[in-house]
Amino acid sequence: MHPALRVLRCPVCAAPLADGPGGVRCGAGHSFDVERSGYLNLRTGRARRVAGDTAEMISAREAFLGRGHYAPLTARLSQLALARPGGEPPGDETASGADAGAEHRGIGPAELVLEIGAGTAHHLAAVVDARPNRLGLAMDVSKSALRRAARAHPRVGAVAFDVAGGWPLPDASVDILLDVFAPRNLPEMHRLLRPGGTLLLVTPGEDHLAELREVLGLVGIHPGKRARLEAELAGRFTRRTSEALTRTLHLGADELVELALMGPIGHHADAAELRHRLGAVLPPDGSGMDVTASFVIDRAEMAAG
């Protein structure tokens, strides 16, 4: 079992998991596969079958992120994840945020970073890489995403699990929790974060991809969504900050298709259809166009012990 996976619990009976034939099993005999591509499948037969992003969407995401267009977001997340509870500056590189009481997690004093709806684990790999004592756990339901996440970084393990249910991890087991443009589950986030732990939540800003909204038929950011998020955070977390990160990206036709495909419209339209639609806004001389990328990063902390 990958060291990061040792924190996981049986999704049926919540007992610890140990290596078994072809996968892992709990003391009560519930067994789960480690897929050939390296991720642990903790989805049970009873679970609703949500498939997540398709292979084409995940390839597009991998290509687009690989070009570095969202590098400022990844860098800012890594920086925010280094801040100490209460906003103090980062301590020395070897310090662990985990206390002795965290031994129940089965991963020793390592700092555990969990990304839910992790996709290719692009952001998670960078956050984990920032400190040598960090382990990362990428959770998603998309097979294509999990295959990439499992090899995103040597200290990142990948697990198939639906964000909507109860998560197969013990209370207060996670030091840093990331949710970037992914479904969220605030009650579980609150249960899993240890005292002093940090939640980093990224949602689209109001002007995100504004130039493409009409041609791709993207829905605008509903103002009610922000209020709902504020309400979900309030009462659960002690200290909250919110910051905007906006960049203008100059993109060619291929990059625009990738960017479109990796979003929700990728569930309804393929590359050929999107290329056709984008032809309506792209200058014919092949010079590309400017597109606004806009993120809101919410940082929330659990009350320390």
Ligand X SMILES: C[S@@+](CC[C@H](N)C(=O)[O-])C[C@H]1O[C@@H](n2cnc3c(N)ncnc32)[C@H](O)[C@@H]1O
Site residues (CB under 6 A) for ligand X, limited to 24-63: 50, 52-53, 61
How distant is the alpha carbon of residue 108 from its chain centre? 23
Annotate each residue in 82-121 with x if it binds ligand X (CB under 6 A) or - if it does not, as one string. -----------------------------------xxx--
Q: Which of 63, 130, 164, 269 binds ligand X (CB under 6 A)?
A: 164
Out of 5, 127, 145, 150, which residue is the one contacting ligand X (CB under 6 A)?
A: 145
- From the list 150-158, 159-167, 209-217, 277-285, the region that binds ligand X by CB under 6 A is 159-167
Q: Which of 180, 257, 300, 302 binds ligand X (CB under 6 A)?
A: 180
Q: Which of 4, 8, 10, 262 binds Zn ion (CB under 5 A)?
A: 10
Please identify which residue in 18, 28, 51, 303 interacts with Zn ion, judged by CB under 5 A. 28
Q: Alpha-carbon distance 24 to 12, whole Å?
A: 13
Q: Does 50 bind Zn ion (CB under 5 A)?
A: no
- Partner that binds at residue 50, options Zn ion, ligand X, none, CB closer than 5 to 8 Å by kind: ligand X
- Please, what is the minimum distance in Å from the beta carbon of residue 161 to ligand X? 7
Sheet holding 31-33, edge to edge: 17-20, 23-26, 31-33
Binder to ligand X among 69, 105, 140, 143 (CB under 6 A)?
140
Binding partner selected for residue 237 from Zn ion, ligand X, none, CB under the kind-specific 5 to 8 Å limit? none
Give the CB-nearest residue to Zn ion: 10
304 binds, among ligand X, Zn ion, none (CB under 5 to 8 A by kind): none
CA–CA distance, 171 with 276 (Å, rounded to integer): 49
Which range, of 2-10, 36-44, 112-120, 167-175, touches Zn ion by CB under 5 A?
A: 2-10
| Angstrom distance (rounded) from CA 11 to CA 25 | 11
* Dihedral class, residue 230 (left if φ above 0, else alpha if ψ from -120 to 50, else beta): alpha
List the one residue out of 167, 208, 134, 188 whose CA is nearest residue 42: 167
Among 207, 168, 197, 205, smallest CA distance to 185 is for: 168
Query: Which is nearer to Zn ion, 10 or 98 (by Cβ)?
Result: 10
Q: Sheet containing 111-116: which strands, arranged edge to edge?
A: 40-41, 156-160, 134-140, 111-116, 174-180, 193-204, 289-301, 239-251
Q: Which stretch binds ligand X (CB under 6 A): 102-110, 178-186, 253-261, 277-285?
A: 178-186
Judged by the rule CB under 6 A, the positions of this chain that interact with ligand X are 50, 52-53, 61, 117-119, 122-123, 140-142, 145, 162-164, 180-183
Judged by the rule CB under 5 A, the positions of this chain that interact with Zn ion are 10, 12-13, 15, 26, 28, 30
